[in-house]
Amino acid sequence: MTKYKIIQNLKTGKDEFSFNATLLEVGENVIKNSNDKDYRIVTLGFQLPSGDEVKRTAICYEANYSYGIEVGKDYLSNLSFDAKGEPQIRMSHLSNADRASVEDFSGLFQVTKQLIEEEEVM
């Protein structure tokens, strides 16, 4: 299931969403936007909030794809909405594995405390 994380765009103050998506295809054509930045159209696979599996196009800027991207890998993607309310998806070059959580390391401090009390410090 795709997990969406709400984030705030620091420039616009508007809410956006970050999520993992699988890169399925990279367009061959390099396109320039109105700010003179190069990008390619990519196709991503992910789940909508409803749970439906979909394939959708997104933008991957040259500043991201120049690092190297691989079809079949998951990448951090960002969903925002333009002035007309239309969704805009951008894919980064960052491979987004699940981040560590507090629960992952919940027993770590307890183990450290026990080892120090028993004088088995490394």
50-97 pLDDT, tens digit per residue, is 999 999 999 999 999 999 999 999 999 999 999 899 999 999 999 855
Check residue 79 and give its pLDDT: 97
Q: What CATH number corresponds to the domain at position 75? A: 2.40.50.140
Residue of 118 and 53 predicted with greater confidence: 53
Whether 122 is in a domain gets the answer no
Whether 39 is in a domain gets the answer yes
The domain containing residue 112 runs over which residues? Answer: 5-117
Domain count, the chain: 1
Whether 73 is in a domain gets the answer yes
- If pLDDT is split at 50, 70 and 90, which confidence band does 103 have? confident
Whether 89 is in a domain gets the answer yes
- Give the three-state DSSP class for 79: strand
Distances (CA, A) of 68 to 74, 78, 102, 120: 13, 18, 31, 46
- E-assigned strands of the chain? 5-8, 15-26, 31-32, 38-47, 53-61, 74-81, 87-91
Check residue 48 and give its pLDDT: 95
Whether 18 is in a domain gets the answer yes
How large is the average pLDDT for residues 4-18? 93
Q: What is the DSSP letter of 102?
A: G
